[in-house]
Amino acid sequence: MDRCHLVWKVNEWMNMNSELNRKIYLEFRQVYDEMMKKYHKITDQFGATPTQLGVLRCISKEEKQSISELVRRVGCVPSNMTTMIRRMERDGWVQITKNPQDQRESLIALTEKGKELIQLYEPILEAFVTSAYGNLTADELVLFYQLLLKVRTGLSENSASQS
């Protein structure tokens, strides 16, 4: 194969690969948008945002958690978490107390109302997730998860090298 032919083949492959990348990106966006639209319909039934329900689920895993622990687990900035916790306290879903060992730290726990909300929400979330991935076999689910982790790692590495 001469050099010109090789260059043409490489360009052809890159164009196909670029087109495939665009198709994957657009499909991924459409799937994400559709999932979020359906998920918001679910969370709206509870009078909570998806983020609030996610934080309530995190809190439900332990009896009490500090705001800094929730910030670490959820991955948001402390001021946003504090505002959200205050709103959830206002709505009666969480209770804020001072840490007896360190009065500077607040501990967050679910109230009975918050526990009831999570008990109602969990089976609906499980059904939603199961239906979203219902067309995939167990092996395909594992592969899909591994591929998503690989994409996320690539994004993290690319953003770190561009900083």
DSSP 39-78: HHHHHHTTT--HHHHHHHHHHHTSS-EEHHHHHHHHT--H
**What is the chain's alpha carbon radius of gyration, rounded to the nearest angstrom?**
22
**pLDDT confidence band for 105 (50 / 70 / 90):** confident
Single pTM value for the model: 0.74
Reference 103, options 136, 64, 66; nearest CA is 66
Reported as a single tens digit per residue, the pLDDT across 63-98 is 899 988 999 988 888 889 999 999 999 999 999 999
Residue with tokens 């910030």: 71
CA distance 1 to 144: 38
